[in-house]
Amino acid sequence: MSIYSQVFQLLHQPMLIMSQNELDVRIVDANQAFLRLSGYTLEELQSKNGRYLLQKYNIDTTIQVVKSEVILQTKLNQQISVRVDQQPLPACPEDGCTCSFVIFENLTPYKWIEQQAEKNKVLISGIVDRQQHIRFLRDSLAPLLFEPDQKMQNETLMQFIDDSEHVKIMKIIQETYLLKKERSLTLKTSKLSGIELELSVTFAPIVDGFGEAHEFAFVIWDLKPVDDQIDASLKLRIWMAKRDMTAGHLSTVTGISIQTISKLRNGKIVKPQRLTAELIASELQVDVQEIWSEVRK
């Protein structure tokens, strides 16, 4: 097998190589990721009518097609939303064929995350593979919880979960894969930026064309510090993140200067004036005591 073939087969993204001439359209090759997505073998794919594939997936081997969303029907008749990114390859003058490199992105986990966000406020969401490597992370709380240079996509989920919770989460993940159903649970994190959090999480398996789950999506609905004895500045940042409230927005709706809010967030003002604390707490929909144990008159 050539180096090209080895790399092509190892790539995580589902891919096809197609060729087209005046008489015929055919699939030249498909990588393992596409075979898993579709549920077909390469021989079965190559036996299909190529022109039907062109029409179904809006593919034209002579032009570039970027981010076209279509429905892929698997061998098990499961309909999967995919995004197609197709790039034409150099023509082959020997046989008069035009070729294209077609990349498919499974949109199922992203659409599931969007559906969850329509039900309730989602703080963090992501996609994790069978080895618990984080492939995708949408995290508005990242500046709060993680070091600035930390890239969670290069890490495993277990790294951020307290050691005492590993058995529980592995059991839930295994049940999610086997039963192919959503599961919800509460987990404690390891100490992230010096704090330990309790998370409310839901996992969902992402099923491929063979009816198997090789990855799952997750959403975190809520989080709170395990230890209440943390700085008021950190509590303020957590509540602002949970309410999707920037310092600028909070300043606008409360009339408090952005400089004052920044000082409260950074711990430079430890004990705010009562009116300031009440205005901020009211806008964040919490009691003043949820953030500050003491205020000035």
CATH assignment at residue 18: 3.30.450.20
115 and 214 share one domain: yes
297 within some domain:
no
295: in domain: no
Strands (DSSP E) found in the chain? 15-20, 25-30, 65-73, 79-92, 97-106, 124-129, 134-139, 183-188, 197-207, 213-225
The label of the residue with tokens 């997936």 reads: 57
Domain boundary residue, one of 225, 247, 267: 225
Looking at the DSSP bridge assignments, the partners of residue 88 are 100
* Structure confidence by residue, pLDDT tens digits, 71-93: 888 999 999 999 988 888 876 66
CB 20 within 8 A of CB 54: yes
Structural domain including 201 reads 109-225
Structural domain contains residue 130? yes
Is 131 contained in some domain? yes
Whether 216 is in a domain gets the answer: yes
Do 284 and 237 lie in one domain? The reply is yes
Same domain (yes/no): 122, 221: yes
The pTM assigned to this predicted structure is: 0.78
Residue 25 has φ and ψ, to the nearest 5°, of -130, 135
Decide which of 86, 105, 124 is a domain's last residue. 105
Note whether residue 39 is domain-resident. Answer: yes
One domain for residues 122 and 205: yes
Indicate if 138 and 198 belong to the same structural domain: yes
160 and 247 fall within a common domain: no
**Same domain, yes or no: 219 and 116:** yes
Beta bridge partners of 222: 200
**In this predicted model, what pLDDT tens digit does every residue of 13-31 receive, in sequence order?**
999 988 887 777 888 899 9
User: What was the pLDDT predicted at 197?
Assistant: 83
Cβ neighbourhood burial of 255 (10 Å; 0-12, 13-18, 19+): exposed
Q: Residues 256, 185: one domain?
A: no
Same domain as 247, residue 166 = no
**How many Cα atoms occupy the beta-carbon half-sphere of 147 within 13 Å?**
6
The single-letter DSSP state of residue 289 is: G
Radius of gyration, alpha carbons of the chain: 25
Q: How many C-alpha atoms does 167 have within 13 Å on its Cβ side?
A: 1
Q: pLDDT tens, position by position, for the chain (297 residues)?
A: 678 788 888 888 999 988 887 777 888 899 999 999 999 999 998 887 767 766 666 666 666 666 678 888 899 999 999 998 888 887 666 667 888 888 999 999 999 999 998 988 888 888 988 788 888 887 655 555 544 444 444 577 888 888 898 898 888 888 887 888 899 999 988 876 567 888 899 999 999 999 888 889 999 988 888 876 678 888 888 888 888 788 889 999 999 999 999 999 888 998 999 999 999 999 999 999 989 988 887
Number of independent structural domains in the chain: 3
Same domain, 117 and 101: no
On whether both 219 and 117 belong to a single domain, the answer is yes
Sheet with 134-139: strands ordered across: 134-139, 124-129, 213-225, 197-207, 183-188
Output the domain CATH number for residue 253. Answer: 1.10.260.40
Is 55 in the same domain as 95? yes
Question: In this predicted structure, what is the pLDDT of residue 99?
Answer: 82
